[in-house]
Structure 1
Amino acid sequence: MVTIKDIAKAANVSQATVSRVINNGPKVGPAKRAHVQRIMDELGYRPNLAARAFVTNKFTSLGVLVPEILDPFMATFAHHIEKLCQSMGLQTFITSGHNDVTKEKLAIEHLLDHRVSAMVLHSKVISDEDLLKYSELCPGLVLINRLVPGLEERCVWLDNRMGSELVVEYLFSMGHREFAYINSDFEIDDPQLRLKGVKSCLTRHNVKLPNSAIAYAPPFHEGGAQAVESLMARGTKFTALVTYNDAMAVGAMNFMLDQGMHIPRDVSVVGFDDVVYARDARPQLTTMRYPISMMAQAAATIAIQSAQQQTIDPTIQRKYTPSLIRRQSVIERM
């Protein structure tokens, strides 16, 4: 990591001069300031944002990275962080990375360039190694819905596997024995963990989930329709449809309704997340409630306390388990 000492040596100036340039201080002429800044850029220097905030006694903003701003789940997540920041007089910068490594890295680096010393990242595609490096540059960096070895104290995450196990256990208690699963085709860990949970619970009940009963599609409304259409085209028989998220669940229900099927008499459907349209769907969607409000506030609090070099509140919860919300899309099989 490049230090002030390295910059001073390369620029042939004192460390005090470099410090003044970094902190936009006085007593540095325009030409020398430009020269030092050029050396900083060439060496790829980024200031220690937490230390800078401590020295200048300024902490005014928090950055938020989400995959998609239009996603109702992500919008809810960002809203709760922004609400907390507003109550503390902080500005929130929200950006998206579209589940693309290059775009996510660029978004994080833009936040660093704007001297954002606290960040909450919902990143699934950047490597653990790169996230560890970013955490060194920004000690107020916190990850949500991800557990990274070495950053455990700065991770707030959901037990996705347990959530899916609870779904299947509930459906099994309702008499269902023929299952199908529609999953996200995104190459991140959430779909894998949720599928593992489904299979694990079914295995305990001596029920197999063949590959023909699993369909993959983008995790949106249209993807849910595509996935269930694929299952039906294969002739897959199922009375219970477990879905990756609420968007796919509603899309699948609408497709089946358009085919003249009845929900839940013909097929019971369970979602995951409990976003707003789970309650607006017809029938209303039984789903797993993701405690996004609590998780978002916990992550933002850890980020802010870390950036301000405060002792982290030991009562802040980091691991969460979703809870079953029973509505109208599941019926008992006799």
Structure 2
Amino acid sequence: MATMKEVAQRAGVSAATVSRVINNTAYVEPVTRERVEKAMREFNYHRNAAALALAKRSGNMLGLLTGNLADPFFSRLARGVEEVTRKEGAKLMVCSGGHQAEREKAGLDFLINQGCEAIVAHVTRMSDADVLRYAAHTPGLVIINRYFPAIANRCVWLDNVSAAQASTEYLLQQGHRRIACVTADLPIDDRKQRLQGYRNAMAQAGIDVPGEWVISVSFDEEGENWPQSRYFPAVITLRPQ
């Protein structure tokens, strides 16, 4: 029977890549995966069942990939996930993607390689194609705060446009017209979507929004004390909380 090393040589990859394909422990490019699987078929190679079970044994580990644990939103998210894992008797491994595509990919790879069979991930900068590729090879991957129709049953998300529009409409119904919008300065889609909902409501009410009505603040404790030198009778805060 052929060895893993021989399969790797035939496919032109490392033995580690062959192992990742067999165990599905990390993302492998489709073209590379196809070469490995072809080599396995040619050699009629099958991993020993006992060894495969041992390799896949993760100790009931759940992975959590967040944006930045210093942010209140993510610390609360981590606390909620931790409570669930503790009740279920599972272990939790946490890492941060820092709102950077490469760090998000590295974080997912790390959690997968550590044996996390289920992962809760908040990924804002990775492309749609990359997220879907990871999801295809990691059935236990759940995406937070982002929606993909192809994996809708594995997405937990908020319709930011509708939520912000409904909030603004409520203030308009209370008779307010001069409504400021305070938003975070993070490079994420949430900000754009919530701002769009605010603008939609104001436009439908026939109210123009001057630039100074939209106030962008830093997403930290200082941002909570945004300058209020200009008086607004009503404010909608779209900073993630």
Q: Which residue is 1:189 aligned to?
A: 189
Q: Which residue is 1:286 aligned to?
A: none
Q: Which residue is 1:40 aligned to?
A: 15
Q: Which residue is 1:10 aligned to?
A: 8
Answer yes or no: is the 8 Å Cα contact 2:67–2:97 preserved in 1: yes
Query: In the superposition, relative to structure 1, how do residues 6 and 207 fare at CA in structure 2: closer, same or farther (>3 Å)?
Result: farther
Once the two structures are superposed, residues 166-202 of structure 1 have per-residue CA deviations (whole angstroms, 9 ceiling, x without a partner) of: 2212212222110111212222110011111111111
Structure 1 stretches of 4+ with a deviation exceeding 3 A read 4-8, 41-46, 54-59
Q: Which residue is 1:154 aligned to?
A: 154
Are residue 80 (structure 1) and residue 74 (structure 2) matched?
A: no
SS in 2 for 1:126: coil
Structure-2 separation of matches of 1:5 and 1:84: 41
Structure-1 separation of matches of 2:175 and 2:217: 28
Aligned residues: 211
SS in 2 for 1:73: helix
SS in 2 for 1:62: strand
Q: Which residue is 1:200 aligned to?
A: 200
Answer yes or no: is the 8 Å Cα contact 1:178–1:237 preserved in 2: no
Query: In the superposition, relative to structure 1, how do residues 109 and 181 fare at CA in structure 2: closer, same or farther (>3 Å)?
Result: same
Q: TM-score by structure 1 length?
A: 0.57
Are residue 138 (structure 1) and residue 114 (structure 2) matched?
A: no
Structure-2 separation of matches of 1:215 and 1:64: 32
Once the two structures are superposed, residues 74-113 of structure 1 have per-residue CA deviations (whole angstroms, 9 ceiling, x without a partner) of: 1111111111111221101111111111221111111111
Structure-2 separation of matches of 1:45 and 1:61: 18
Q: CA deviation at 1:8?
A: 4.3
Query: In the superposition, relative to structure 1, how do residues 241 and 121 fare at CA in structure 2: closer, same or farther (>3 Å)?
Result: same
Structure-2 separation of matches of 1:237 and 1:84: 43
Aligned with 1:243 (options 232, 237, 240): 237
Structure-2 separation of matches of 1:198 and 1:99: 24
1:178 aligned partner, one-letter code = R
Structure-1 separation of matches of 2:188 and 2:98: 12
Query: In the superposition, relative to structure 1, how do residues 217 and 120 fare at CA in structure 2: closer, same or farther (>3 Å)?
Result: same
SS in 2 for 1:196: helix
CA RMSD of aligned residues (A): 2.9
Structure-2 separation of matches of 1:160 and 1:87: 31
Are residue 178 (structure 1) and residue 153 (structure 2) matched?
A: no
Q: CA deviation at 1:117?
A: 1.1
Q: Which runs of 5+ in 1 are unaligned?
A: 13-37, 246-271, 274-334
Structure-1 separation of matches of 2:95 and 2:154: 20
Answer yes or no: is the 8 Å Cα contact 2:8–2:18 preserved in 1: no
Structure-2 separation of matches of 1:225 and 1:178: 20
1:9 aligned partner, one-letter code = V
Query: In the superposition, relative to structure 1, how do residues 239 and 10 fare at CA in structure 2: closer, same or farther (>3 Å)?
Result: same
Identical pairs, percent: 28
Structure-2 separation of matches of 1:91 and 1:8: 36
Structure-1 separation of matches of 2:107 and 2:69: 13
Residue correspondence of structure 1 range 1-334 to structure 2 within 5 A? 8-11=6-9, 39-41=14-16, 45-46=20-21, 47-49=23-25, 55=53, 58=57, 60-226=60-226, 228=227, 232=229, 238-245=232-239, 273=241
Q: CA deviation at 1:7?
A: 6.0
SS in 2 for 1:200: helix
SS in 1 for 2:150: coil
Structure-1 separation of matches of 2:19 and 2:213: 50
Query: In the superposition, relative to structure 1, how do residues 73 and 11 fare at CA in structure 2: closer, same or farther (>3 Å)?
Result: same
Q: CA deviation at 1:221?
A: 2.8
Structure-1 separation of matches of 2:5 and 2:133: 20
Once the two structures are superposed, residues 137-186 of structure 1 have per-residue CA deviations (whole angstroms, 9 ceiling, x without a partner) of: 31111101110242212111111122212221221222211011121222
SS in 2 for 1:242: strand
Q: TM-score by structure 2 length?
A: 0.77
Structure-1 separation of matches of 2:181 and 2:224: 10
Structure-2 separation of matches of 1:241 and 1:7: 64
